[in-house]
Structure 1
């Protein structure tokens, strides 16, 4: 998160210093990649939980077909 904050501040400073547009775009791309990485880290536990819930539901439903017959 600190790296992302530093990149955003760097982009702001580059704009103030009127840095070449392609350099600013490069930094924006790097910041977006860092944000994507953070979002994956934050979503991973939630997706694992959803997977467990789905597996439990699927297993119970599959066996309940045989029990109900």
Structure 2
């Protein structure tokens, strides 16, 4: 079950990264956050939650501002 949940979370993170890339391209000179930086932030956001379902939901609902804020720590 844990493996399945990890796969779901990884898929959700990749989906969210694609969504953020469409809205805020990393190729934009004003973008200070790489795809890897965004990925790290999304994993950090997920790690703040206890249940696997809450982790996926937190990633799904994360806003770019939150991702950027988390990257500062």
Which category describes the TM-score, using the shorter chain as reference length?
0.3 to 0.5
TM-score, normalised via structure 1 length: 0.36
TM-score, normalised via structure 2 length: 0.34
* Bigger proportion of residues as helix: 1
